[in-house]
Structure 1
Amino acid sequence: MAGYNGHGEFGLVILLLGPKLSGKSSVGNAILGRQAFGNDTMCSSKTTGFTFGKQVTVVDTPGWRLFVPSSEHVPQELQRALSLCGPQLDVVLLVHSVLTRLGPVQWDAMESQLRRLSIRVWEKAIVLFTHADCLGKLTIEEHIRREGRALQSLLGRCGNRYHVLHGNHRHGTPQTDVQQLHAKMQWIREASRSPGLNGSVLGNQEQIEMRRWANPSQYYNPPQCYDVEDGGTNLRLGQRQWSLAGISSRQSISKSPLSIVLLGRRKSGKSSVGNSILAQKKFKTDTKTSRSTAGQGLVSGAFVTVVDTPGWSFYGLAKSEKVLTEISQSYSLCSTGSKCVFLLVIPIDSFKEKDLAKVEKYVSVLGNNIWRKMLVLFTFGDELKDKSIEEHVTKQGQDLQWLMQKCGHRHHVIETSVRDSNQLEQLMEKIQEM
């Protein structure tokens, strides 16, 4: 049986799909770490090996033609590929070269092949970008924006799950690219098998919406919703998905997914807090945050999404309507099915009536119940010197005291100049307890 490793469990089963010259077979070889498939695939074939200590079965298929109709041989081989996968198909890698523009003709060619398959492709699919070295200095998110609606809609169908492979036939694919792809594929497999990782159901009880993934080097802002006709069901796929890039497959998941939304005025240290939580530089700190963005990582055994939002200002330096809009949309960047917590980031300095008025104005767009999910995070705690945070709150007066009461007196202090992992561990413990 496909994928069985002889030790009582099944390995990862991967199906490669894509047009001719997309690099499918090379992808299979990179995953397996050896030359298992040739360059001109005419028939579907299966090869099993071990990758990062895990058994992997890769099924390669003939590519369809983009500019002329493919022969009936291709759909027949795609159906045969499904039989090679057996009942244990875990991941579909939809291989797309960055050198090929996805226009109406190419879309129709893809649709004509995929609609014949007897499986629901999209729930298991990752769009795998190949030949990424040809982008030069252009990032993948810039490429996706330039390509336009067709490519963005394809990503929407796949739950915005994608990965990028660099390298070429002479230099090969970097091991880190393959390791990150392997981690993403393992996550899809576990999400489909573990009730604790499942997202919302789309279309029927078997379709699972994958956790959103994104990271700064592989992130773009798709239209908020895609109307996608899939098996007669109109699906609204408007949320971004998890990215496990940079997460080793050896790291373990022991806690439920968590989402943290950062709120606060400009220069409060929000972006730095997000970077500290994720232990990675996910957010820019040298320029102002102009739109809500998300970063992900594995923190203390949990997949954590951190959403950074634009800060508000007192002097018209930030357009209030745009900030309100971005904050109101921040919740859509949170991980589906995760616990969502809001951190109100306040520097240790003066907090008066005007500060409270701004907080109420911008936080109110998230609803009346938001305060129950809010923790006040004081930054630049070094400025307290020998004072306790309680003494500081008392000295600041009724405005800050009212805010603390509104948030259930949930608070934490971070000393910005001190790199102490304990203060972040304590913060995560408080968040998990909320």
Structure 2
Amino acid sequence: MATSYGPLLSEVVVLLVGEKKSGKSSVGNIILGRRAFNQNTSRSSKKSSKNLGIQVAVVDTPGWSSNFPTPDVSKEFLRGLTLCHQVPPVILLVLPIPNPFGEEEWRAMEAQLQLFQTPIWHQAMVLFTRGDHLGGLNIQEYIRRQGLIVQWLLERCRNRYYVVNNQPGAQETELLLKILMIMGITKHPNSLQCSSHTQLRRDVSARIQGGRPIQQEKIEMTEMHDGRPGPRKQMSSRRQYAPAGFVVSSAGLKRPLSLVLLGRRKSGKSSAGNMILDREEFATDLKTTRCSAGHGQVSRWSVTVVDTPGWSMYSLADPKQVKEEMSLSPSLCPAKSKVTFLLVLPVDSFGEKDRKAVEKYLSLLGEEVWRSTVVLFTYGDVLRGQTVEEHILEKGEPLQWVLNRCNNQYHVFDSYKEDRTQVNELLELVEQL
């Protein structure tokens, strides 16, 4: 008899995302234990059922083609988000086993996921459908053969995955248990809490106030196809293609760079991010209130840039929101990338009040953050012939204290320079840290 987790959860919400004919609707039927969704989904819909004593709601969304999602699909996807009433606790990225998942498929998925406008990887799990097509392969060997893009996607999802045969049966219980594991609640069935995205932000805020460092929870998933668990194996591949943010060199997969922009409001963070990526990735005419990430190939580097809300010393920004977003910003960086924080300081006045603000906000990321931080001076044209070293001496102890904490690692951006030399020099500095 299945364990009952009682009426302690008001509702578990699961969002299904995937391309056309990936088996999303069948997955929804498996989770709900009944035929709730029909095939060929053209409109988002929400269906509910009770499983293990828990009320479960599944939101099915239209799939996109191998090309980028059409406006109609994106519109329905956004409507599906409203059916969740909040960012859903669990997002299932549905991949059919018979179909390859390469660069084109990844870019189509990425275009759809950007509609969330918030990091989703801590809530996501890859769900492989049509497991009967594996034949004699186990899932780990299938993943290895699929190559770097699938492996990279799994790493972003903390290597959480599951395989279904698109047939109802005992796997509905196993799949729901996996979903509960992602929510982090199965270890304490007597005190379950609905871990929505809103609750996650409250938890982050509570940890900040309690002075404890934020650590991402690691949930180890095992392959449960045919009901037989097996440990996740180390994956490798010689396929010579890579997802956005990675490059393949003669030495193999080159480690990407991730740059997290930190600083006060109006410091030029968004503009600096656009300069690095050489495109208008971040809006410079709007106030940044949420973290966002952009990816690109910059010279010989694969780069992810994460823009964050700026703090204010004059009550023009919500300090609680800024702290929460800053603490979540590393989660937007690709797994295994080299993460460097760019402390963006405009070339203007910098006093003790500025120093205290920098110390206060960077401390949210732990004491080790200083070792991987580079000071990026923006509005370098204001120097007008003065060297940056002369500027540092002129501003005195507050600025020098910050630079000492960052091991005197700094660089200058002049937005009026059109050549890419200053960007390449910054990336060389980051690579050598």
TM range, normalised to the smaller chain?
Answer: 0.5 to 0.7
Distance 1:357 1:302, change over 3 A: same
Q: Distance in 1 between matches of 2:370 and 2:26?
A: 53
Cα offsets for 1:22-76 (capped at 9, x unmatched): 843xx9xxxxxxxxxxxxxxxxxxxxxxxxxxxxxxxx99979969967xxxxxx
The equivalences for 1:94-243 within 5 A come to 97=41, 99-104=43-48, 128-129=63-64, 132-134=70-72, 138=75, 140=77, 142-148=78-84, 152=88, 155=91, 157-158=92-93, 180-181=107-108, 189-191=146-148, 202=159, 231=224
The equivalences for 1:299-318 within 5 A come to 299-318=298-317
Match of 1:267 in 2: 266
Asked if 1:352 corresponds to 2:351, the answer is yes
Contact 1:255 1:301 in 2 (8 A): no
Contact 1:199 1:337 in 2 (8 A): no
Match of 1:432 in 2: 431
Asked if 1:409 corresponds to 2:408, the answer is yes
SS of residue paired to 1:158 = strand
Distance 1:257 1:178, change over 3 A: closer
Distance 1:182 1:410, change over 3 A: same
- For residue 279 of structure 1, report the CA deviation from its aligned partner: 2.2
| Structure ranking higher on relative contact order (CA contacts 8 Å, 6+ apart) | 2
Cα offsets for 1:238-260 (capped at 9, x unmatched): xxxxxx99969999785202211
Distance 1:146 1:369, change over 3 A: same
- For residue 316 of structure 1, report the CA deviation from its aligned partner: 0.7
- For residue 283 of structure 1, report the CA deviation from its aligned partner: 1.5
Task: Report the AA paired with residue 408 of structure 1.
Answer: N
Cα offsets for 1:346-371 (capped at 9, x unmatched): 00001111110111111111111110
TM-score, normalisation: structure 2? 0.55
Task: Report the AA paired with residue 133 of structure 1.
Answer: P
SS of residue paired to 1:340 = strand
Contact 1:99 1:134 in 2 (8 A): no
Task: Report the AA paired with residue 432 of structure 2.
Answer: E
Q: Distance in 1 between matches of 2:246 and 2:328?
A: 31
Q: Distance in 2 between matches of 1:62 and 1:281?
A: 37
SS of residue paired to 2:147 = helix
Q: Distance in 2 between matches of 1:367 and 1:65?
A: 41
Q: Distance in 2 between matches of 1:245 and 1:152?
A: 29
Q: Distance in 2 between matches of 1:203 and 1:246?
A: 18
Q: Distance in 2 between matches of 1:275 and 1:183?
A: 19
Cα offsets for 1:183-238 (capped at 9, x unmatched): 99x9994327989x96686469x9xxxxxxxxxxxxxx9665999997499xxxxx
Match of 1:396 in 2: 395
Cα offsets for 1:102-150 (capped at 9, x unmatched): 4336x9xxxxxxxxxxxxxxxxxxx9435743258x485x445313179
Cα offsets for 1:158-178 (capped at 9, x unmatched): 39x99xxxxxxxxxxxxx977
SS of residue paired to 1:103 = strand
- For residue 381 of structure 1, report the CA deviation from its aligned partner: 0.3
Distance 1:143 1:420, change over 3 A: farther
Q: Distance in 2 between matches of 1:424 and 1:187?
A: 36
Match of 2:366 in 1: 367
Q: Distance in 1 between matches of 2:76 and 2:242?
A: 15
Distance 1:144 1:305, change over 3 A: farther
Distance 1:322 1:229, change over 3 A: same
Distance 1:134 1:364, change over 3 A: same
Contact 1:102 1:147 in 2 (8 A): yes
Asked if 1:326 corresponds to 2:325, the answer is yes
- For residue 263 of structure 1, report the CA deviation from its aligned partner: 0.4
TM-score, normalisation: structure 1? 0.55
Cα offsets for 1:269-290 (capped at 9, x unmatched): 1011112222232211111111
Alignment RMSD (CA, Å): 5.2
Distance 1:181 1:293, change over 3 A: closer
SS of residue paired to 1:304 = strand
SS of residue paired to 1:129 = coil
Distance 1:188 1:279, change over 3 A: farther
Contact 1:103 1:150 in 2 (8 A): no
Aligned length: 300
Distance 1:322 1:397, change over 3 A: same
Task: Report the AA paired with residue 330 of structure 1.
Answer: S
Distance 1:279 1:188, change over 3 A: farther
Q: What is the percentage of aligned positions where both structures have the same residue?
A: 34
Contact 2:245 2:296 in 1 (8 A): no
- For residue 299 of structure 1, report the CA deviation from its aligned partner: 2.7
Match of 1:41 in 2: none
